[in-house]
Amino acid sequence: EAGVTQSPTHLIKTRGQQATLRCSPISGHTSVYWYQQALGLGLQFLLWYDEGEERNRGNFPPRFSGRQFPNYSSELNVNALELEDSALYLCASSVRDRGVSTDTQYFGPGTRLTVL
């Protein structure tokens, strides 16, 4: 069974540009989560999508946004990039069983975003 996949592996942008990161969950998983792992700041929750809807977002500005597609894959968009957005962005997926999340999140390898 394939795990969570993310693309691209690395992304280099300049300040002010936009970045788009993609995530494909494990087959059968309907929830997708995004986390930011920046140097010195640890793992911070960004966004949670389930069944195509945004369920929760972390303490990040609105220029961090995303969506979930009908096939449950997801996209994270970061507008007006700032230097401090440089980080490893991790996607995770989980499955909901009869409306209850098992909350076991399985992570992808991440996208390393570098903002110059």
Partner 1 sequence: AQSVTQPDIHITVSEGASLELRCNYSYGATPYLFWYVQSPGQGLQLLLKYFSGDTLVQGIKGFEAEFKRSQSSFNLRKPSVHWSDAAEYFCAVGARRGGKLIFGQGTELSVKP
The closest alpha carbon to 33, from 87, 85, 94, 113, belongs to 94
Is 66 a binding residue for partner 1 by CB under 8 A? The answer is no
- Closest distance of CB 74 from partner 1, Å: 15
Read out DSSP for 60-76?
--TTEEEEE-TTS-EEE
Backbone angles phi, psi at 34, to 5 degrees: -120, 135
Span from 16-24, 64-72, 77-85, 101-109 in contact with partner 1 (CB under 8 A) = 101-109
Q: Does 53 bind partner 1 (CB under 8 A)?
A: no
Q: Which amino acid is at 64?
A: F
Residues at the interface with partner 1 (CB under 8 A)? 4, 31, 33, 35, 42-43, 45, 48, 50, 55-56, 58, 88, 90, 92, 94, 96, 100-110, 112
